[in-house]
Amino acid sequence: MRIITGKYKGRHFDIPRTFKARPTTDFAKENIFNVLNGYVDYEDTRALDLFAGTGSITLELLSRGCPQVVSVELDRDHARFIEQCIAKIGDPGASHTLIRGDVFRYVRTFRPQDPNPNRPAFDLIFADPPYQLPALPTIPDLIFQHGLLAPDGLLVFEHGARNDFTDHPRFLEHRVYGSVNFTLFR
């Protein structure tokens, strides 16, 4: 796994062979981030990486200058790997919070209206659930229902080819890179 661009460009991280999760391919990741460059000013973006897996997207967001990135990952080994990658970067200015827990519980309990200024809604949410997850089609609506996305925010949803969100009221655009599908919502 490597970081495509930004201040950590070219850094490599070896993913243990025992991992169930695989990072978004470099080809797909580079292309979707090229699309996002037209929508996002990373230096002013509070980002959320749901189903963080190997942390590939988290690292890319930090490398591009996001001042705050929150990652949610259930698997203990994957969460530990993300922590190790963040430590290897060795940037004390990188503001990263790792939540080891269930994404659905996190979404259901998120309250952006809480008086805590550290919990405002996110400007950018990247969600990459397992493609076989039965609840996958419900995730965009859950994110919107629970107020995780800021009013002008962007949701990037990675999914397999069998899912189609073009009729969703918040649909923005759909991109395909090889076998990887991304739907953007606003």
How many residues can be counted in the chain?
186
pLDDT at 171 over 80: yes
* pLDDT of res. 110: 87
Report the C-alpha gap between 46 and 83 in whole angstroms.
Answer: 19
Whether the CB-CB separation of 172 and 159 falls below 8 Å is answered with no
pLDDT higher than threshold 80 for residue 83: yes
Q: What is d(CA 176, CA 92) in angstroms, rounded to the nearest whole number?
A: 36
- Mean pLDDT, rounded, of the chain: 92
Query: What is the pLDDT averaged over residues 151-175?
Result: 96
In this structure, how many other beta carbons lie within 10 angstroms of the beta carbon of residue 151?
8
pLDDT score for 112: 66
Residue in the block written with tokens 């963040």: 86
Q: How far is CA 59 from the centre of its chain?
A: 10
Q: Which of 97-101, 116-120, 135-139 has the lowest mean pLDDT?
A: 116-120
d(CA 162, CA 159): 8
3-class secondary structure, 165: coil
- What is the number of alpha carbons within 13 Å of residue 169 lying toward its C-beta? 3
What confidence score (pLDDT) does residue 69 get? Answer: 95
Kindly state the percentage of the chain with pLDDT values over 70.
Answer: 95
Region 9-37: what's the mean pLDDT? 90
Residue 50, beta-bridge partner list: 72, 127
3-class secondary structure, 78:
helix
- Report the distance separating Cα 41 and Cα 185, nearest Å: 17
pLDDT tier at 22 (50, 70, 90 boundaries)?
Answer: confident
- Between strands 149-159 and 180-185, the pairing is antiparallel
